[in-house]
Structure 1
Amino acid sequence: MEKQDLSIIDVGGEGERIVYSNPVNLEPTYAGRLGEEYRISLNLTERQTTILNRMWYPDNNFSSIPFCRAEIVKLFVLILDDLAYKYAKERTVLEVQFNTLADMITRKHLANGMNDYNYKYTLLSTLDQIYFNLFKHAENALRAHYGHTRKINTDVDYGDEEINNAYHARLTSKVLQMLPIWVPRVDMPDEATNIALYTQNANRWKLRFEEICSEFKHEPKKYLAGILKLAKLNASNPAIEMIYFEASKFIAAHDPQIALILYIYYIHSDLQSIAFDNRQLTKTAQKNIFKTKEQVEAFQTIVRDLISNQDLNSALLAVPSVFSRKRKTIQLDPNAIAAINERHSGTVELLNKYLQEDTEDDTKVVIPDLIVIEAPIQHCVFIETLPLTAIQVEIILHFAKNNFVVPQQEIERIAKEKGLFKNQLVEGINETCYETIDDVLIEEEEDNYIIYETYYKSILAS
């Protein structure tokens, strides 16, 4: 078989071929690179392998998951092949289009254009960046497909309108049209990958939660099974307790017993977390669940016992007893029975009276007060010498429960509820912690605030 030509055509005017597979001053050893990693498993061509080997691709949380990385490569190759096909229909080839872009960009940055000593090396480096940008588009599309909302930056701005327009026309616009077609062809995450993704993105569970609510709200048993499966996948997610809590709230209007089962799971999960939030069932949920004061008191006892002994199974087994009917015991006076025997005509009337009293007491609906469960005494979470206020502690713990990444809008909402400004709250925490960690605790990252876990651990009480 004839060896494939991996060189690219210099469009600068001399028609010289530049060998893409072995650029100047770059060691052509690709052990551990993407091309070599997936050459056999994805049956890559020599050209695809070479392009992937050339990219210096920095691992991130998403791509470090083996399943995700393999699917990114798969999607990248599909897009690359489709681009080549579309260029062929336009009577051109992908390499010429990419090389033309690279030449425009290179000439923009080099004063002497193609006469510059670094022209060839810069051209090859720019080509790598073009392929890498395509790879990032594939990754972002896969992130969205897997419900991983954090995206990487794919914006291109070379400070030149002509170059930016050419880049969009030759590459970006085409890729954005292709991705919706090819993304459904990739495999969905397996269980191990889902666990890793839920751990990385504390709010990813909400997408599947909404699906479960929509699919099974009228099938309580399937709803419970779906929620428990979702919670299992989120076992390492600090936000797991919120899955149980929101699930309990939602199903309260449809199945009171399952609502209480899920609330028990919430309390148990909350007890295992870094701080006991002790969220109470909403008043609306409680009105949907409880019909008598006795039911409220019975459930309060179950929750108190759970907080005391943390025996989840015992608490779950006790939930049905909350709704068991407790019939009134009727004690008859022997003297009254004797009197009744003498007056048969009044027997039916008297028995009806007894039964009526029993029925009225048994079916009476009582709207109880809100359940209030006292939280166990909590020891100080952070170093005692840190003069953190209650709201500052709440905010830092909120980060810990959301995998140390919180949207800025969420912090702004919390600050507003407390009568504070967002910046005032964040800067106050950073000033308080600065002497301890010798750095700011909370940093901005695009639309989010983040805390490095090592910094968080350094302010924890020993």
Structure 2
Amino acid sequence: MEGSMFTTQMFGKEWTTYCLDLGLQARGNDWLLKTMSQAFDALSVQQREILAGVCATTALPVTQRWRNWLYENTLEPFVSDRLSVYTANEILCNLARLREEEIQAISPVSIPVMADDSIIDISQEGGRINYEITVTETELALYEEEYNWRLGNKYGAKLGLSDQQIALLNKFYDPENSFLSVEGCCISTIKLYLSCLVSLEKQFEKRGSNMEQEVQAFVRKCVPASRGHTQEGRYQQQQVASAVYLTLFKKAESVIRNLYQHKRKINSNFSYSGFEQLFEDTFGKAAMDIMMLRKERIAAPDRETELRLNEMNPTRWKPAFDTIVAALTQENSGDISAQIDELAELNVNNPAYEQVFYEASRAFAKYDKLTAVRFYLKYIYADLHSEKIDSKQLQKTIQKSLFSTAAELQRFQQVIDELVGSKNLEKALESAPGIYEKQRKKIIIDEELLETVRINSSETIAKLNEILQEDEPEEEMIIQLPVQVNTVPDMPVTFSADLQLNDDQLQLMKLFSENNCTLPADTVTHFARERQLFKNRLIESINDACYEQLDDVLIEEINDGYEMNAFYYQKIVNLC
């Protein structure tokens, strides 16, 4: 099945009806179909087959259940104009995964039926009738409780929740996304959500009401009472009530995202147009006040959660790194070094993993030369095992602070060469102290020459001084790092049309990519002046154009120039 066929079947009249029932206009349907179609085509063959099965099944309740799940997860980014191919692909991946889990959990069941000899075979085929009825997983799914896939039933036993807490989590469909797919993040969100509801309940009780009564009163304001007697009206009332609890859950998720330093934001506003302020006055403001007070009680992410979050956020390590190195001194360099190593272990799956070591090497250069060298060796080793070898040189000023003589720099180069060849990091780290060991020359004394030298002591002193001279003239040397061999032929670089980049912006990004994603400030200034542009405005315009897809800046200013984030650049290239 192609993406166009899938989107036509799933986002036709049913989608328009769904939006209208919520008081929304199904605007920009062509853009939605194109975005979802491209996202579908980007799926794997197996994922496309699973979703094609959802469309093809004749079991209406199954189709409707997954259609509603898709609509609920698409609605928020769609109405907030944040639906991109990347976001849509993430939604479809989650749908395929959940459907696959459902299929695996339900195996075909054969139900034997007692044969009744009194039944006469009137068919033309002859023989006895086969009385065994085969129930397929699709048919069996018709009778399965839809609550089995909601958060309350998923985590009820694991978290030891009460029946009431399970029911509060089952008020809405599981709002699957990449953040909540991390179990530690989802559990923390659940705990904050349930804790908030307990406090809201107490506040309403003081006014002679309770949470359920307040929700029903809110629903009646959103759905006219005259419609509550029709099937459509009752359905709308259920959807509004579900949206109340889902919005409170999203607010809890938003707090946890900020607490766990997850940069990608979500829209936690009430999804029914025209009733956002009513929701905030009734539930939202009080809920946020409660959550902000209770967030300090939320446990810090465990190791598995840290690993997953750092994998999703390439720059998440920077705030923790800056906090650690801010306390660095010559006296505590050993303790700080251990903390940096622990931070690096939590970023082992991070695409920017090697950058932790590179920045550590720069930070330690001023306080501990040997530790700085070891961090740089770790950077080289991690870079060699990354998808793209960057081979970033240490700045010349840092090299001069680390190596006082050309001999030290030469010995360091030898250690790097051996590391690149053997890829034995442990041996390289053991060799690092030898870089700074004094290399004394061996002297062989000739007795006859010594006797001659004794005659002229001044000549002897001069000769010995020449032989024993330890300092060597400094030479300009450059650390030779491995260069990545590009085995893939150069392809034209294209960008998503959504970025809306002009020629000047594209040319500057191309210039960055041709120079290892780093340019001196003078080069950028010259580039901008040639085009009669302001340097800072040009950089900011590129960052603004790419921010919606990256949720971060693409180009940052460094000490002596500008640096384009290579990982982000690869992310937006060829996003079609």
TM-score under structure 1 length normalisation: 0.71
Q: Give the match for residue 266 of structure 2.
A: 152
Q: Give the match for residue 259 of structure 1.
A: 372
- Is 1:211 aligned to residue 328 of structure 2? no
Return closer, same or farther for 1:280/1:101 CA change in 2, 3 Å cut-off: same
- Is 1:187 aligned to residue 304 of structure 2? no
Alpha-carbon shift at residue 365 of structure 1 (Å): 9.5
Q: Give the match for residue 177 of structure 1.
A: 289
CA deviations on 1:67-119 (whole Å, 9 max, x unpaired) are 22222211111111111122223443222223333322234xx9x55466533
> Out of 147, 170, 174, which is 1:30 matched to?
147
CA deviations on 1:353-390 (whole Å, 9 max, x unpaired) are 7898789x547895x64634253351234x55547899
Q: Conserved in 2, the CA contact under 8 Å of 1:280 and 1:372?
A: yes
CA deviations on 1:284-310 (whole Å, 9 max, x unpaired) are 322221111111111122222322333
1:398 & 1:341 partners in 2: Cα distance? 62
Q: Conserved in 1, the CA contact under 8 Å of 2:264 and 2:551?
A: no
Alpha-carbon shift at residue 173 of structure 1 (Å): 1.5
Q: Conserved in 1, the CA contact under 8 Å of 2:377 and 2:416?
A: yes
More divergent stretch after superposition (114-123 vs 176-185): 114-123
2:327 & 2:509 partners in 1: Cα distance? 38
More divergent stretch after superposition (247-256 vs 218-227): 218-227
Alpha-carbon shift at residue 456 of structure 1 (Å): 8.0
Q: CA RMSD in A?
A: 4.2
- Is 1:41 aligned to residue 158 of structure 2? yes
1:245 & 1:454 partners in 2: Cα distance? 22
More divergent stretch after superposition (330-339 vs 262-271): 330-339
2:508 & 2:307 partners in 1: Cα distance? 33
Residue 32 of structure 1 aligns to which amino acid in structure 2? Answer: W
> Out of 398, 402, 410, which is 1:289 matched to?
402
Return closer, same or farther for 1:116/1:40 CA change in 2, 3 Å cut-off: same
Return closer, same or farther for 1:27/1:328 CA change in 2, 3 Å cut-off: closer
Return closer, same or farther for 1:190/1:254 CA change in 2, 3 Å cut-off: same
- Is 1:325 aligned to residue 434 of structure 2? no
Alpha-carbon shift at residue 198 of structure 1 (Å): 1.4
1:321 & 1:92 partners in 2: Cα distance? 76
Residue 372 of structure 2 aligns to which amino acid in structure 1? Answer: A
Alpha-carbon shift at residue 209 of structure 1 (Å): 1.5
TM-score under structure 2 length normalisation: 0.59
2:242 & 2:287 partners in 1: Cα distance? 17
Query: Which runs of 5 or more structure 1 residues have no equivalent in the other structure?
Result: 1-25, 400-409, 427-441
Question: Matched residue pairs, number?
Answer: 394
1:209 & 1:175 partners in 2: Cα distance? 33
Q: Give the match for residue 247 of structure 1.
A: 360
Q: Conserved in 2, the CA contact under 8 Å of 1:241 and 1:270?
A: yes
> Out of 87, 90, 102, which is 2:204 matched to?
87
Q: Conserved in 2, the CA contact under 8 Å of 1:283 and 1:370?
A: no
2:213 & 2:426 partners in 1: Cα distance? 67
Larger RCO: Structure 1 or Structure 2 (Cα < 8 Å, ≥ 6 residues apart)?
1
2:243 & 2:515 partners in 1: Cα distance? 40
- Is 1:378 aligned to residue 495 of structure 2? no
Aligned pairs for 1:413-432 within 5 A: none
Residue 335 of structure 2 aligns to which amino acid in structure 1? Answer: K
Alpha-carbon shift at residue 457 of structure 1 (Å): 10
2:515 & 2:541 partners in 1: Cα distance? 18
> Out of 318, 339, 364, which is 1:226 matched to?
339
Return closer, same or farther for 1:387/1:71 CA change in 2, 3 Å cut-off: closer
Q: Give the match for residue 60 of structure 1.
A: 177
- Is 1:97 aligned to residue 214 of structure 2? yes
1:31 & 1:329 partners in 2: Cα distance? 80
Residue 120 of structure 1 aligns to which amino acid in structure 2? Answer: R
1:379 & 1:87 partners in 2: Cα distance? 65
2:492 & 2:237 partners in 1: Cα distance? 54
Residue 50 of structure 1 aligns to which amino acid in structure 2? Answer: A
Q: Conserved in 1, the CA contact under 8 Å of 2:389 and 2:484?
A: no
Q: Give the match for residue 31 of structure 2.
A: none
Q: State the secondary structure of the residue aligned to 1:40.
A: helix
